[in-house]
Amino acid sequence: MQRFMITGGNRLSGTVKVSGSKNATLPIMAASLLLDGKCTIRGVPRLRDVAVMRELLIYLGASVVWEKDVMHIDTQGVGYQDVSEELMRRMRASNLVLGPLISRYKYARISYPGGCDIGSRPMNFHLKGLQTMGVSIKEKFGYITAEAKKLKGSEIYLDMPSVGATENLIMAAVLAKGTTVIRNAAREPEIVDLQNFLNCLGAQVKGAGTDTIKITGVNGLNGAEYTVIPDRIEAGTHMVAAAITRGDVLVTNVIPEHLEPVINKLREAGVYVEVKDDQVRVAMDKKPLAVDIKTMPYPGFPTDMQPQFMAFMTLAEGTSVISETIFENRYKHVMEFRRMGADIRLEGHTAVVRGVPGLSGACVEATDLRAGAALVLAAMAGENGTVLDQVEHIDRGYERLENKYNALGARIIRVHS
């Protein structure tokens, strides 16, 4: 197990570059299974989750050469569709191989995926959409077996705009016979990136970024090179890091429109935010004002930024009401913040955060990826020292976070215990 020893009280200042998007890279890697050939992905972040997806592709027979931030994938060797439970349970996004495998092989068998401890995370919308396309689904002993003679283009309505279901169904429709329309689709930028990657391979996908996506099936795909978008959640995390430590940081390699909900909320809290091309400058020299947030599907305030913003609000002037509408159990970080002196009351899916004068160091643990990142922010803003356990969670979604923050003046030591 690895832990961070964090000394608080240092303002962050300087420049930090955002890596490629984890949540764009993972579906794009899965989509490479649709191709019987080679493709190259650039801007790939060095993350544990990306390493797990690479292991999954190799297990299925692909070759995946990953040097620095460039990944060469060759899926000519892919033939094996039963995915091991051990691999599936390591990451929720493993379920993204379902769409490509059923699309290319008309058969796939996966176990229910694992992932962060933030909710039950069922796959009913994924499976219902596949059944609409003519796929027979059998669920037994935690395994899903999907089979189809052929996939037919269909009209699919998602009961809620699920990111993963939208991505899986797009990938299932790429090689289907006819046209598929997905309504009430998720609109996240990572879905637009998946569409752009697929169209580079010769697919015909339109409408990603809106709630209606149209896929015209094609017979086959060709190899291509593609660069993934920057990670908007990493960028948002760094922006809050600058604000909570009352620092002054230039965050580079961003797409500002992807950050709009976070920029607006930071400004509402009194933070100076200046947007220029692919950079955002964030500066703060006083206590923030308490603001309310309600997590919503994109373009609303992202659930993946809820823990980080809560950290910020624990030190605000006044009381902030935070509503988590996406996941049913995404408040594990509240207990940890309380150990640092935060005043937070949970009422169902709502957290009432009353600002306190300061946070004090404590022994805390990362309960999931974003909670871990949020605790780093709280510890950097807190007084004296914090020990943060289970930082492996953080490595799932952030490239050596301690190096990025130490370069800005933080004092974080990684300890292998």
Binding mask 174-203 for ligand EPZ (x = CB under 6 A): ------------x-----------------
Residues 369-398 that bind ligand EPZ (CB under 6 A): 369-370, 397
- Is residue 87 a contact point for ligand EPZ (CB under 6 A)? no
Contacts of 232 (CB under 8 A, 6+ apart): 21, 189, 254, 255, 258, 259, 302
Decide: helix, strand or coil at residue 177: strand
Contacts of 194 (CB under 8 A, 6+ apart): 24, 27, 28, 31, 167, 170, 171, 208
- Is residue 234 a contact point for ligand EPZ (CB under 6 A)? no
**Residue 163: its H or E element:** helix 163-173
Q: How far apart are CA 60 and CA 106, in angstroms?
A: 15
- Is residue 163 a contact point for ligand EPZ (CB under 6 A)? yes
Out of 11, 54, 92, 404, the residue judged to bind ligand EPZ by CB under 6 A: 92
Tokens found for residue 96: 């993204």
Q: Is 363 a catalytic site residue?
A: no
370 in a labelled binding site:
no
Q: Which residue minimizes CB distance to ligand EPZ?
A: 164
68 in a labelled binding site:
no
- Minimum distance from residue 231 beta carbon to ligand EPZ (Å): 9
- Is residue 9 a contact point for ligand EPZ (CB under 6 A)? no
Q: How far apart are CA 384 and CA 362, in angstroms?
A: 9
- Is residue 303 a contact point for ligand EPZ (CB under 6 A)? yes
- Minimum distance from residue 287 beta carbon to ligand EPZ (Å): 28
Torsion angle defined by CA atoms of residues 43, 254, 353 and 391, in that order, rounded to the nearest 10 degrees: 20
Nearer to ligand EPZ, 233 or 408 (CB): 233
Residues 52-81 that bind ligand EPZ (CB under 6 A): none
Residues 98-157 that bind ligand EPZ (CB under 6 A): 116, 119-126
92 in a labelled binding site:
yes
Bridge partners of 248? 13, 283
- Minimum distance from residue 213 beta carbon to ligand EPZ (Å): 15
Contacts of 84 (CB under 8 A, 6+ apart): 59, 111
Bridge partners of 39? 73
Q: How far apart are CA 317 and CA 308, in angstroms?
A: 17
Q: Which residues bind ligand EPZ (CB under 6 A)?
A: 22-23, 26, 92-93, 116, 119-126, 160, 162-165, 186, 303-304, 326-327, 369-370, 397
Residues acting as catalytic residues: 116
User: Which residues does the annotation place in the binding site for UDP-N-acetyl-alpha-D-glucosamine?
Assistant: 92, 304, 326
Task: List binding-site positions for phosphoenolpyruvate.
Answer: 22-23
